[in-house]
């Protein structure tokens, strides 16, 4: 009987009314947008933590996983957190529209439940901020890594990334040269990166990637963080070795002493090639085309304060190009300091020098050059055909010799194929000699190198010219 009475009393007790906050929190779970926001936030946080743990443990080394963990998931997490209050707002607006009366939201710190709610909110906010901070920090380093630069857009950056890995700067991060220190250039680079991402997604990027890079940061802010033009280097002996088709065993050897120069501590003056980038000298030039291979004017400010301008009167500005004065720095000569690609003659001659190509095989130099300079539709096409092309050329030249040296000829073909794959990307329109260098005179007939200015044709008001005297830059070793 007592039990029955208690049951009746419980049934008669009115249900406790929820607070305004209770209606909001409960209401979020009854709206599709609210459920979606909570689930997206929770799943994003969980996957981020799993992804970071997997990367730290070395479980994966994939740039696309990194993009997902450090870029996509944080965006989803932030979007989910923002959608939760939006869902709550829409829920209350729906109540007002349908005439459902609900109390105004209030925060009363004297109320135990309100205090617990506020404490929970602060704790969750701190946790979320810590997670976003850690992910943001790791994401910052991930997007600045050479691995990200070279592998995320692999089909686009394959030529540059391949050359970078074997270059003298292979241990220097891309951003140290392309961005450098400071927030200003970091922001510029990231904004420029958005445009480049769009070009990749829409497949509208240039093939090959155009050079020189128009908005590259001045070398004084990047290169000179490690290299010191003021340091006196004096002379450096460089050796050039060249074979010929007529003599594959005895190369022509040329030794020259380059006048690298710098600040000479004995004389106190700036000497040699590095005079151009001395802190006491300013050289400016006005190019007539976007490749900077045609120079119309050169201005020089010397250490004593005197200034001079040299003009080449017959230079015509390329149609559509707007000339702009540029202060000369390291990159104007060292235009491929990291992304160095070989030329076919250098590849074959090094093969003979290192005996990766047997110099005893008659015609191997000529046939090797022919095989690697043939037109191949793609790198996959070269993998299928290049070695066989060399074998066929040698077989036609001398069947008896081919029978004796077939294994060596095949090894030579494999060496040439490896070099081809490291220097030519037909689908990116990067072929032999696509990217030319300004160091020396190798491509002087196309406007590259020292003779852009040192041509005895740029003349000042006194009739003096920028000399083409070879001894200014090099002489014979002592």
76-96 per-position pLDDT tens digit: 888 888 888 888 777 777 666
Check residues 429 and 91 and name the one with the higher pLDDT: 429
More confident residue, 29 or 309: 309
- Averaged pLDDT for residues 387-402: 96
pLDDT tens-digit readout, 152-166:
766 788 899 999 999
Residue 172 has, within 13 A of its CA and on its CB side, a CA count of 18
pLDDT score recorded for residue 453: 93
Assign 21 a pLDDT band (cuts: 50, 70, 90).
low
Candidate from 54-63, 68-77, 378-387 with smallest mean pLDDT: 54-63
The per-residue pLDDT for 135 is 80
Residue with tokens 């989910």: 80
Check residue 117 and give its pLDDT: 74
Token look-up 């901070």 returns: 133
205-233: average pLDDT = 85
User: What average pLDDT does range 321-334 have in this prediction?
Assistant: 92
Contact criterion met (CB below 8 Å) for 449 and 442? yes
* Tokens describing residue 163: 């050359």
Q: What value does the mean pLDDT take over residues 177-206?
A: 79
Task: Find where tokens 């992804």 sit.
Answer: 51
Residue 101: predicted pLDDT: 57
Residue 295 and residue 285: Cα distance in Å, rounded?
7
- Residue 44 neighbours by CB distance under 10 Å: 22
8 A C-beta contact, residue 151 and residue 174: no
CA distance 258 to 333: 14
Name residue, tokens 């929970």: 120
Average pLDDT in the 235-264 region? 92
| Average confidence (pLDDT) over 386-399 | 96
According to DSSP, the β-strands at 307-311 and 295-301 are antiparallel
Least confident among 157-161, 212-216, 275-279, 313-317: 212-216
Q: H or E segment at 323? A: none
Dump the DSSP string for 98-131: HT---PPP---TTSHHHHHHHHHHHHHHHHHHHH
Determine the Cα–Cα distance for residues 386 and 390; give it in Å rounded to an integer. Answer: 6
Query: What is the C-alpha to C-alpha distance for residues 242 and 324, in angstroms, rounded to an integer?
Result: 39
Residues in the chain: 478
Q: Does residue 15 register a pLDDT over 80? A: no
pLDDT at 219: 87
pLDDT value at position 354?
95
Number of Cβ within a 10 Å radius of residue 56: 9
DSSP letter assigned to residue 90:
H
What is the band of 206 on the pLDDT scale with cuts at 50, 70, 90?
A: confident
Residue 416 has pLDDT above 90, yes or no: yes
Q: What's the confidence (pLDDT) of residue 413? A: 97
Nearest by Cα to 273 from 262, 257, 265: 262
Average pLDDT for 359-382:
96
State the Cα–Cα distance between residues 369 and 349, nearest whole angstrom.
10
Question: Which strands make up the sheet holding 307-311, listed edge to edge?
Answer: 307-311, 295-301, 282-287, 325-327
Q: Which two tokens stand for residue 188?
A: 């510029």
Residue 1 clears pLDDT 70, i.e. is over it: no
Residue 267 CB neighbour total at 10 angstroms:
9
**In 10 A of CB 406, how many CB atoms?**
13
Range name among 112-116, 313-317, 328-332 with the lowest pLDDT average: 112-116
Alpha-carbon distance 392 to 374, whole Å? Answer: 13
For the chain, the average pLDDT equals 85
Question: Is the model's pLDDT at 23 over the cut of 60?
Answer: no
- H helix or E strand, kind and range, residue 285: strand 282-287
Q: What is the pLDDT of residue 411?
A: 97
Q: Taking residues 381-387, report their average pLDDT.
A: 96
pLDDT at 382: 96
């Amino acid at each position: 009987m007592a039990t029955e009475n208690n049951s009746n009393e419980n049934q008669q007790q009115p249900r406790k009314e929820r607070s305004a906050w209770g209606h909001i929190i409960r209401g979020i779970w009854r709206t599709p947008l609210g459920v979606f926001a909570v689930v997206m936030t929770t799943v994003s946080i969980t996957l981020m933590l799993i992804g970071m743990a997997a990367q730290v443990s070395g479980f994966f080394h994939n740039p696309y996983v990194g993009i997902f963990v450090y870029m996509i998931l944080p965006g989803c997490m932030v979007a989910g957190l923002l959608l939760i209050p939006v869902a709550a707002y829409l829920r209350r607006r729906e109540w007002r529209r349908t005439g459902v009366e609900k109390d105004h939201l209030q925060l009363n710190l004297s109320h135990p439940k309100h205090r617990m709610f506020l404490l929970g909110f602060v704790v969750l906010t701190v946790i979320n901020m810590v997670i976003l901070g850690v992910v943001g920090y790791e994401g910052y380093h991930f997007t600045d890594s050479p691995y990200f630069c070279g592998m995320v857009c692999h089909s686009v950056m394959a030529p540059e990334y391949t050359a970078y890995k074997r270059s003298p700067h292979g241990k220097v991060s891309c951003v140290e040269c392309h961005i450098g220190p400071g927030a200003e250039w970091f922001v510029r680079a990231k904004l420029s990166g958005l445009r480049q991402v769009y070009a990749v997604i829409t497949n509208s990027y240039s093939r090959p990637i155009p050079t020189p890079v128009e908005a590259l940061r001045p070398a004084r802010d990047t290169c000179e963080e490690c290299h010191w033009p003021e340091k006196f280097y004096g002379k450096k002996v460089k050796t050039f070795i060249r074979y010929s088709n007529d003599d594959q065993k005895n190369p022509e050897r040329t030794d020259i002493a380059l006048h690298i120069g710098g600040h000479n501590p004995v004389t106190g003056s700036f000497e040699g090639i590095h005079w151009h980038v001395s802190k006491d000298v300013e050289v400016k030039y006005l190019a007539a085309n976007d490749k900077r291979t045609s120079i119309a004017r050169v201005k020089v400010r010397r250490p004593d304060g005197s200034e001079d301008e040299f003009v080449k009167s017959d230079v015509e500005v390329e149609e559509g190009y707007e000339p702009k004065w540029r202060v000369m720095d390291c990159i104007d000569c060292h235009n491929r300091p990291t992304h160095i690609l070989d030329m076919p003659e250098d590849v074959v001659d090094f093969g003979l020098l290192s005996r990766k190509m047997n110099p005893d095989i008659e015609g191997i130099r000529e046939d090797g050059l022919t095989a690697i300079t043939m037109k191949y539709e793609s790198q996959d096409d070269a993998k299928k055909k290049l070695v066989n092309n060399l074998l066929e050329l040698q077989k036609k030249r001398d069947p008896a010799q081919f029978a004796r040296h077939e294994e060596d000829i095949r090894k030579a073909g494999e060496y040439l194929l490896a070099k081809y794959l490291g220097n030519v990307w037909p689908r990116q329109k990067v072929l032999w000699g696509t990217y030319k260098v300004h160091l020396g005179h190798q491509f002087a007939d196309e406007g590259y190198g020292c003779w852009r200015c040192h041509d005895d044709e740029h003349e000042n008001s006194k009739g003096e010219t920028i000399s083409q005297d070879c001894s200014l830059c090099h002489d014979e070793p002592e």
